[in-house]
Amino acid sequence: MSPLAWVGGGVLLVLGLLAGIFVAPLFRAPSEPTPTAGLASEATATPLQSATSVTSTSDPSPSATTPPDLNELYTAGREAAQAGDWELAVRSFSSVFAANADYNDIRQQLTDSYYGWGVALLREKQLDEARDKFNRAAGLSPEHGLTAQKKRLIGLFDHAEELFGRASYDEVIATLLPEAPIAEDFPQLTDLLLRAHIESSRALLSQTPPGAGQAQAALATAAALPNLDDAQRAVVGGLQAEVAALLPTPTPSPVAPPPTPVPAKKLRMVRANQNDTPTCISIRVTGISTAGWYFIADALQIRGNFDTGGNARNCDLGYNQEFSFTIYNADGQAVKGGGGVRARGGDIFVGEWK
């Protein structure tokens, strides 16, 4: 072999070796990672990568796949409403309503709970929050009467606040006073009405001359408002004392002496004589009209009628018979002083009405 051929063969050999080193791996099948490499990879994973992997592969929570127990939620709502926990009641009933709007009386229960929550907020003077709850109740049940009443009161209150801001105190009173008896859950309404009375009284006192009498009447109306607390009553009482000091001292009216009692009139019966027939009795009454009068011999039931001149006589007695008689008026009532008069046949009596 010539030297040139020998050199060419060496070059080809070198090129073959290089091709084996750099090109062969490109056509080799990928080998499985060794256990050691897998453990190293897991060990070097960051905590966030591990957490993400657990979260994405873990089973869904039961709440995401299990429907709520409507009976349990409904019972929880009823118990919360009875305890006055309106927020919990609304939350429980809302879950039932969202799942089944026709479940039992759920619409009514949810409406009542929103209303109860609104009333509780109204009592705490949280007007905007109360307004929201009443609006929600009305949205569920537009025919709910109590909710409609509260919304109407809030509307009147809003209008009265505008009037108060314009110093139209008498208009505030005219707007709110008729509603005071049903505003026991609305202390802000009572407070605004009271302030209107007070400001109206002060305006009257600032007049020339001061209208103390009218101010006194306005404060008397304020003191009679229902649902006032002790602090409010104290304020009204203090203003009433101030107004009373401005009023003139009333002149006492003379006290009339008690009337002299007039003795009651009655018959004064006197036996005048015994000159009548022994089987007769005669009676004469003076000083009063005897129309329709009569006398009766008590045990004998013997009767004598009086004429318009006051005279009466009966002759049905036994000879000088002793008896008693009573005189009666036209109404059949015994005449005072003319009852049980002792007599005998032949007597003549005179009775004077005085």
pLDDT score at 262: 64
Q: How far apart are CA 64 and CA 59, in angstroms?
A: 10
CATH code for 267-353? 2.60.40
Report domain extents, the chain: 70-143, 156-245, 267-353
Handedness of CA 97, 101, 104, 108 (dihedral sign): positive
Q: How far is CA 328 from CA 159, 266, 296, in A?
A: 75, 12, 8
- Between CA 110 and CA 77 the distance in angstroms is 9
pLDDT band at 67; cut points 50, 70, 90: low
Separation CA 132–CA 115 (nearest Å): 10
Per-residue pLDDT of 102-123, as tens digits, reads 999 999 999 999 999 999 999 9
- Judged by DSSP in three states, 216 sits in helix
At CA 287, angle to CA 282 and CA 290, rounded to 5? 60
Q: What is the Cα–Cα distance from 117 to 84, expressed in whole angstroms?
A: 8
pLDDT at residue 132 greater than cutoff 80: yes
Quick: pLDDT tens for 237-288. Answer: 998 888 888 777 767 778 878 877 767 889 999 999 999 999 999 999 999 9
**In the predicted model, is pLDDT for residue 97 greater than 60?**
yes
At 64, list the tokens: 């995401």
Determine the topology of domain 70-143 in CATH. 1.25.40
pLDDT: which is higher, 322 or 251: 322
Give the mean pLDDT of the chain: 82
Higher pLDDT, 308 or 193: 193
